[in-house]
Structure 1
Amino acid sequence: MRYLALCLLLPFAAVAFAQQPPYDQAPLAEPPYYQVRYEASEKPGELIYPVVYTVWIPADVKTLKGVIVHQHGCGEGSCKSGQTGAYDLHWQALARRHQCALLSPAYEQPEGTDCQMWCDPRNGSDATFQQALADLGKTTGHPELNEVPWALWGHSGGGHWAGGMSLLHPERVAAAWLRSGVPYLQPVEGRDIKPYTVSADALAVPRMCNLGTKEGVTVKGDRFAGVWPSNQTFFEAMRKQNALIGIAVDPLTAHECGNQRYLAILWLDACLTARLPKEPGQPLLPIDSDKAWLATTPTDSETVTKPFPASGFSGDLEETVWLPNERVAKAWQRYGADTQIVDSTPPPAPRRLRIEGGQLVWDADADLESGISHFVITKDGVSIGSVPEKPKNSFGRPLFQGLQYSDTPALPLAEMRFTLPSQTTHDVDQYQVHAVNTVGLTSK
């Protein structure tokens, strides 16, 4: 079975690694952010890399109902990008809606070492992750962190990790989004990697395989060409057993994440709505099959088709993509065409506008569907600037926080502040701040 070139790294040497700076350049973790760090272990079967877990806890939540995990990919650059995952306003909007924490690990994997030693959770990262939940539960005053369900998102090796965790712990996983990485269900030639087994409970976990068209669909023979066949192999093996699994091809990208978050967050929102129990501490709910939609399985020549309701379908399920509901099905179709998923609702209005040391400062929540592109500043109704002046994103729609390769905010983190002219006096009542989402809609 072919797999991600990023995961097929150098032969593993059985030693623990200690990573050097700039892993010390991460954002400062102060409430509502909390961190725990574990050093590398030299004990057999334990995690050989240091790792930091950062968690964000939404305000005014007495009892958490779940944890959304945003897992970076393989290699030193992707690992470093994981340091900002919990600070992502867009992913926080999803977590807030479902009374969930947002957790982002950052494995300190030195360049040129074996990614499998963390992205295969059986090599110690499963146990360390669960230890982090227990320790962070004590630190945050939310001991339920150690018991609530998980919604998993992973990129590249992180997709392998998220998929593996969904097979190892199906009773804990509400849903898993696998961007450009899937777990092994078959032996890998030349690699000492144990394939996963698939239980009946694991088939009931919703999963989405997601990749770029340049990862072996329309572009063959480059370093990422193995992603498409590995996703097809995993998808087909699972779907033949009636697993709740889909596959979505990004028509614009290679291994970078692009605009996938606009479908991923919508898909996870639907799965969490369907599966999280009303009362914390209860088992995950089964998916309501009556609301599901289907689409024809993607091929090399046709990766997106018109979806249709699952009710009344009498064909072969293994030749279909599973989608949780009609809204997601329509978004899936648009994503496969040009990634420009439609959004007709404006973002939430900014709040707590104030003046601090000659700067206008405010707070704001992201739009769940489309995030935040920028803020427009007005004085007495006249526009005087925007923050940032020119929003950037090399991988997709321009974003207020920018975007790194593994779908996390850029460093240094963007701040919600605007410097006022120094030669005049200022009254906060003269000013207004409007949020603009990534489809151009403006808040109140």
Structure 2
Amino acid sequence: MPDRTPQSPRLLSRRSWPEARFLADVLRTETVGGGLLLLGAVIALVWANSPWRAAYAALGDWVPWPGGASLHLDLSLATWAADGLLAIFFFVVGLELKREFVAGDLRDPRRALLPVVAAIGGMAAPALIYLAVTSSAGGAGARGWAIPTATDIAFALAVLAVVSSHLPQGLRAFLLTLAVVDDLFAITIIAIFYTADFHPLPLLGALLPIAAFGLLVQRRRTWWWALIPLAVTAWTLVHASGVHATVAGVLLGFTVPVLPSRSGAPGLAERLEHRWRPVSAGFAVPLFAFFAAGVTLVGVDLGETLTNPVVVAVAAGLVLGKVVGVFGSTYLLARFTRAELDEEITWADLVGLALLAGIGFTVSLLIGELAFGAGSPEEDGVKVAVLLGSVVSAALAALVLVRRNRVYRRISERESRDDDGDGIPDVYQQESA
């Protein structure tokens, strides 16, 4: 008789071939975007510490539309980058989240459990470490507890591409899905804990253009001359409500249909994501990094800065908290559910992935600005801490993952064989046989 003993569930197992192709496209875009993000941050740091640093500060403080005070739009270039351009980033996040929950792996509760648990652990542990460090110093800076909770997927994938381009697909997919769930929680935190001077009427008014936007996209009406004004109107009203304006991007992304049309064409969410992800990764996020990362260290006492409780708390949360949270929650899930890692993945690989999750940049810098205010002394400390914690996390991840790269390469070469020439790696056909 055939063996009917139920197999233990596999953690980080291979995705389906269509899902793998979509993942590969996302990884390529995010990897390039991560390189541009890093370039923008480096240019900002060099300029902010050069003899021309006053020009950098003046550029960020310049208000291109000083007459927009009545609509709360008398914003500086740096604020436009944080509130305006990042709305594009969060629109793509909204599309990605809905696609994952409707047609991706997160629609399966068994597959969704691991990244959700890992994301919760990877946010809770850094927040607790941050609060423990700041409370020992009298509680100063406790408002920034959420700063080290976010993972910057573009930055992390850029580092991953450099140090280990042959990482098993299950681990790469897990990093991407973890970051997607992480973004969802980060959006919720921003909306609930970092909203000041809340005005309900503009927020209620924003529901009208969002509903009109949703009605058009549900009917596959992709008229740019209608959708873009509706999106801008929704963004303006959300911004006027006191809720961070990037939330408008997420809400608009949630309205877009995911499933393919009756003719078999790809879902509109996938098409819009394909169109807007390069704009987000290649323009919006790098420009935000350019304005956000330029901390001036000239004349600053580095010893005093690096011992500041907020700096220590953020850096420790990113480097230590993410490893404890992501790795610890995954290990406990496996321990108490009798699940096993996929046969191609080891716990050492997961340590490297958890270290990569400690690379926080875009959302961490955004929360730092929201927590302490633009131009505050604490904000400069947050920038130093986020940069320091991200660099240390990236270096430690490289030490762990580069040693496995040769093994990954051999596995990748075996899996990529397509002996029958049909364009699909044989490993997927063997699994479905």
| TM-score class, shorter | under 0.3
Higher RCO (CA-CA < 8 Å; seq separation 6+): 2
Quick check: which one's strand share is greater?
A: 1
- Give the TM-score of the pair, scaled to structure 2: 0.24
TM-score (norm 1): 0.23
Q: Which structure shows the bigger proportion of residues in helix conformation?
A: 2
